[in-house]
Chain A
Amino acid sequence: MSEIIKKNLSEIIDLIKKKEIKSEELANLYIDKINKSKKLNSYITTCFEHTIKKSKEFDEKPNFNSLLPGVPLAVKDLFCTNGFKTTAGSKMLENFIPKYESTVTENLWKEGAILLGKLNCDEYAMGSSNETSYFGNVINPIAKDTVPGGSSGGSASALVADLTPATIGTDTGGSIRQPASFTGTVGLKPTYGLCSRWGIVAFASSLDQAGPMTKSVKDCSIMLEAMAGFDNKDSTSIEKKKENYSKNLKTDIKGLKIGIPKEYRVENMPKEIDELWNKGKSILKDLGADIIDISLPHTKYALPTYYIVAPAEASSNLARYDGVKYGYRSSKGNDLIEMYENTRSEGFGDEVKRRILIGTYVLSSGYYDAYYLKAQKVRQLIKKDFDENFGKVDAILTPSTPSSAFKIGEKTNDPISMYLNDIFTVPVNLAGLPAISVPAGLDKKGYPLGLQLIGKTLDEQNILNVAYAFEKNCNFKNEIKNWWL
Chain B
Amino acid sequence: MSIDKDKIKHISKLARISIDSKKSDTLAKDLTSIFKFIEQLNELNTDKVEPLSSILNTPLRAREDKINDGKIREKILENSPKKNEEFFVVPKVIE
29 cross-chain CB contacts under 8 A:
A192-B55, A193-B55, A236-B54, A236-B60, A307-B38, A319-B16, A324-B90, A326-B81, A335-B92, A336-B91, A338-B91, A341-B18, A353-B17, A354-B27, A356-B15, A356-B17, A357-B31, A358-B35, A360-B14, A373-B51, A375-B41, A376-B53, A377-B49, A377-B51, A378-B41, A380-B50, A415-B34, A432-B55, A432-B56
Give residues in A with beta carbon < 8 Å to B.
96-97, 99, 192-193, 206, 232, 235-236, 238, 298, 300-301, 303-305, 307-308, 315, 319, 322-329, 333-342, 344-345, 348, 353-354, 356-358, 360-361, 364, 371, 373-381, 383, 415-416, 419, 431-432
Q: A354–B51 contact, CB under 8 A?
A: no
**Closest Cβ of chain B: how far from A364's Cβ, in Å?**
6
Chain B residues 39-79 with CB under 8 Å of chain A are: 39-42, 44, 46, 49-56, 60-61, 63, 72, 75-76, 78-79
Can you list, as one digit per residue, whether each of B1-17 has a CB less than 8 Å from chain A (1) or not (0)? 00100011001101111
B80: contacting residue among A326, A377, A380, A419, CB under 8 A: A326
List of B residues within 8 angstroms of A326 by Cβ: 79-81
A325 touches B53 (CB 8 A): no
CA distance A272 to B49 in the complex (A): 38
In Å, the complex CA distance between A395 and B90 comes to: 54
CB neighbours (8 Å) of B63 from chain A are: 232
* Chain B CB within 10 A, most for which of A193, A334, A380: A380
**Nearest residue in A to B13 (C-beta to C-beta)?**
A341
Q: How far is the CB of A434 from chain B (nearest CB, A)?
A: 12
Other contacts beyond A336-B93, A345-B18: 20, CB < 8 A:
A99-B75, A99-B76, A192-B55, A192-B56, A206-B54, A232-B63, A298-B44, A301-B41, A304-B38, A307-B37, A319-B16, A323-B81, A334-B91, A335-B92, A341-B18, A354-B30, A374-B42, A380-B49, A380-B51, A381-B46
Residue of A nearest to B81 (CB): A329
CB distance from A320 to the nearest CB of B (A): 11
A358 to B53 Cα, complex, angstroms = 20
Chain B proximity of A377: nearest CB distance (Å): 4
- Asked whether, in the complex, the Cβ of A304 is within 8 Å of the Cβ of B92, the reply is no
Chain A residues with CB under 8 Å of B22's CB are none
Q: A329-B81, A335-B91, A378-B46 are in contact. Are A415 and B55 (CB under 8 A)?
A: no
B27 pairs with A379, CB closer than 8 A = no
CB distance from A412 to the nearest CB of B (A): 12
The A/B interface has a contact count, at CB < 8 Å, of 152
- Please judge, given known A-B contacts A307-B37, A416-B34, whether A335 and B18 are in contact too, CB under 8 Å: no
Contact across chains for A345 and B19 when beta carbons are under 8 A apart: yes
Query: Of the candidates A232, A339, A360, which one forms a contact with B15 in the assembled complex, judged by CB atoms under 8 Å apart?
Result: A360
A335 to B94, CA, bound (A): 10
- Docked-complex contact A301 and B44, CB < 8 angstroms: yes
- With A415-B33, A416-B34 already in contact, the answer to whether A357 and B8 are too (CB < 8 A) is yes
* Bound Cα distance A22, B78 (Å): 37
* Most chain B beta-carbon contacts within 10 A, residue among A301, A324, A348: A324
B32 nearest CB across to chain A (Å): 11
Docked CA distance A360–B14 (Å): 7
- Chain A residues with CB below 8 A from B55, complex form: 192-193, 206, 383, 431-432
Query: What's the nearest-Cβ distance from chain A to residue B9, in Å?
Result: 11
Closest CB in chain A relative to B74 CB, distance in Å = 9
- B54, closest chain A residue (CB): A206
Q: Which chain A positions have C-beta within 8 A of B40?
A: 300-301, 304
- In the bound assembly, the distance between CA atoms of A322 and B91 in angstroms comes to 12
* Complex Cα gap A319–B59 (Å): 26
Contact, CB under 8 Å: A238 / B79? no
Cα separation A432 to B76 with both chains bound (whole Å): 33
Cβ–Cβ contact B90 & A235, under 8 A? no
State the CA gap A360–B46 with chains docked (Å): 23
A353 / chain B contacts, CB cutoff of 8 Å: 17, 19, 27
Tell me whether A324 and B41 are in contact (CB under 8 A).
no
B79 touches A374 (CB 8 A): no
B15 neighbours in A (Cβ, 8 Å): 315, 344, 356-357, 360
Complex Cα distance, B53 from A432, in Å, reads 12
A376, B56: Cβ atoms under 8 Å? no
